[in-house]
Amino acid sequence: MRIVCIGGGPAGLYFALLMKKENPAHHITVVERNKPYDTFGWGVVFSDATMENMRRWDPPTCEEIEQSFSHWDDIELRFKGRRIRSGGHGFVGIGRKRLLNILQARCEALGVELQFEAEVDSDLAFPDADLIIAADGINSRTRTLYAEQFKPDIVTRPNRFIWLGTHKLFDAFTFDFRRTEHGWFQAHIYKFDAKTTTFIVECPETVWRAHGLDTADQEASVAFCERLFAESLEGERLMTNARHLRGSAWLNFQRVTCEHWWLRNANGAHVVLMGDAVHTAHFAIGSGTKLALEDAIELVRQFRQHGDTPDRIPAVLAQFQELRRVETLRIQNAAWNAMEWFEACGTRYCDQLEPEQFMYSMLTRSQRISHENLRLRDRTWLEGYEQWLAEHARRAAGVETEPAAAPVAPVPPMFTPYRARSVLLKNRVVVSPMAQYSAVDGIAGDYHLVHLGARAMGGAGLVFAEMTAPSPEARITPGCPGLWNDVQMQAWQRIVHWVHEHTDARIAMQLGHSGAKGSTRRAWDGEDRPLPDDGSEPNWPLVSASTQQYLPGVSHPAREITRTEMDAVRDEFVAATVRAAAAGFDWMELHCAHGYLLSSFISPLTNQRTDAYGGSLENRLRYPLEVFAAMRAVWPDHLPMSVRISAHDWVEGGITPADAVEIARAFKVAGADLIDCSSGQVSKRQKPTYGRMFQTPFADRIRQEAGIATIAVGAISEADHVNSIIAAGRADLCAVARPHLANPAWTLTEAARIGYTAIAWPNPYRSAKPQLEAGFAREKAQSGRP
């Protein structure tokens, strides 16, 4: 085959040499705009997995690269006058110029033709080519030329960064944070050869402009960075090799993804994008070069498997795209998380977190590194942090501990205490409110006693009752519990008394009004479907902030609630709150999420009112805040109240995470102690981005920016998840739902799984504790895990 690689970066060069090695009969040309053995950039970072992959495919190249590597295990944080170091991270770096020189020399040795100082305006300039590799970088002309076919999605991020170098050598991958009068700057620093270090300086656009860097030339920008990071530079200078750029050397990162990766051009040649031309990964996790090299490996692998003749190209490219898309999205998602962390750290973490917790948050920013993964990397550091966090939590909760006669094992973050007003929780695990649809006439019966009692015995610190209605018309289904009369209150009182007598868990009531989502069948009979018209269980009229039909053409229409009715509903919430206090609940939560009545006021998707309760977010919050304030006034002052909100509607024009911060601030002013951060379920048009802990970022943002404690919910299913969330300060509590349906003793089970034996079991169950712990210990030993 005749193959042309447009662009002499890592993707194009490595593909060329591997393909030539596979079949020397191929005629392969690499066309590069720069001069021979000339390139721009400082150091690039590899992972051990990428190097192992390269070693299998071309040992000579791998060996030469390894000889030029700088290797380090440690990450060091320089922050607020402190230096904190964690080991076991295993990075390798090499100068970009050195890497490309090695690849260029290997190409020449194998017989690849290299053409330098050659501009390529179009892939059509190579009429004899069978295959064209468009590895022409982030500003790919090829991608632009065929934008309609490749369908690129290019997102320009808000932070500014400048890529510099220095002869000051650092022995760890160093992150240096500096506060100025206008905000925070951070430097990403890593050595890549025996005399040079990469030094990337980053800051928000507002901070960049406030310092006049938008009008500064490169020389002035470098001088500014030298002054800012003088303490770390210790007299060394910063250097730029971006003189080829016009104007400022400060850039905005661009995230590139493409819907399609390849096509056939007018000459009949197949054109495939590779490297930064088709996908980019933020430097916060250093994976751009990794993606480029592994693109090259996978494409060669596919030619090996399918055949390397022109007729096999379509099958090869189709499979290449399918396989690489999955891996690329995984890396890009991790890079996106890391990038967003650095973009937001100045407003969200730098001022709020102490250095110890800031370090943990930074290390786990991509969500690829979990709590137990950190233990594998550096047990000593993590256990030291766990001890710090546990002591910090005990002090905050007002829990005194007697000095231990001997060293004790660190307490995992999920098992640290938490206090809200007078209520002390023994740990950070919450049994989430889960609708059971098993009440009769709104009365919680024996089923609820067994359901909630079992979970209270299962080790969680707080157990929530399901959403309970303050009136018959506030129910979702006829099977929902209520608190509109004293019989219901007495039924709840029996359950609360049992939990208090037999467990050390606390129990919470959640009150909510179904609004437009009411008068429906139980979930197993047809979720969100109206009650049948056979009269067995009559439907009831529905109200909402504005006239709506939750399921168009299916749900019963809800009419706009009147001001008089709003007063009546508020009073029903107040009466139910008084009954909840009389029943002995430890905690109250108001449900303002998921499209129910109070949520329908908050979301612009469901609130089209033209009175004082519609329009701006301030107006839309007015009624939910009225209800909350009225409840807070009658709920005992020493007991906490939380509010569940939908922090993201996942629909264009709906509530956004930025709105959620303002919502949380408003409820905080009204007296809320925590925000329970859910999302969605307001509109069937929603398009959530699911994944493990997918709603935790909402809790994180609200906690840091609104300055109120939060409960994280959603796809939290392992102790590792809870420990990571609590340790990083992303939330104060973690609500676990479905795993608690499957296993009422989920908390006790997860403690045994991670080897935490200091947790107390209910006395009647204690004989099972050592057996469960021994079973998990054997399983761990057999797997070879430490």
Catalytic residue list: 596
Binning the chain into helix, strand and coil, the percentages to the nearest 5 are 40, 20, 40
Q: To 10 degrees, the CA torsion angle through 130, 133, 134, 136?
A: -130
Which amino acid makes up residue 355?
Answer: P
Measured N-to-C along each axis, helices 355-363 and 379-397 cross at an angle, to the nearest 10 degrees, of 130
Q: How far apart are CA 408 and CA 411, in angstroms?
A: 9
Residue identified by tokens 């088709």 is 278
> 113: burial class by Cβ within 10 Å (0-12, 13-18, 19+)?
middle
Q: How far apart are CA 341 and CA 701, in angstroms?
A: 10
For the record, the structure tokens of 88 come out as 């076991």
Q: How many residues does the chain have?
A: 786
Helix H or strand E segment including 65: helix 59-67
Contact between 155 and 254 (Cβ < 8 Å):
yes
Q: How far apart are CA 610 and CA 77, in angstroms?
A: 52
Furthest CA-CA distance within the chain: 89
Which amino acid makes up residue 667?
Answer: F
Cβ atoms < 10 Å from Cβ of 142: 27
DSSP 709: E
For the record, the structure tokens of 300 come out as 């060669």
Helices (H), 307-414: 313-348, 355-363, 371-377, 379-397
Q: How far apart are CA 66 and CA 71, in angstroms?
A: 9
Q: Based on C-alpha coordinates, what's the Rg of the chain?
A: 30
DSSP 299: H
Helices (H), 398-460: 446-456
Q: How far apart are CA 33 and CA 29, in angstroms?
A: 13
DSSP 548: B
Of 204, 29, 40, 59, the C-alpha closest to 131 is 29
Which amino acid makes up residue 267?
Answer: N
For the record, the structure tokens of 734 come out as 């973690």
Q: How far apart are CA 19 and CA 28, in angstroms?
A: 8
Residues with Cβ within 8 Å of 384's Cβ and at least 6 positions away in sequence, in order, are none
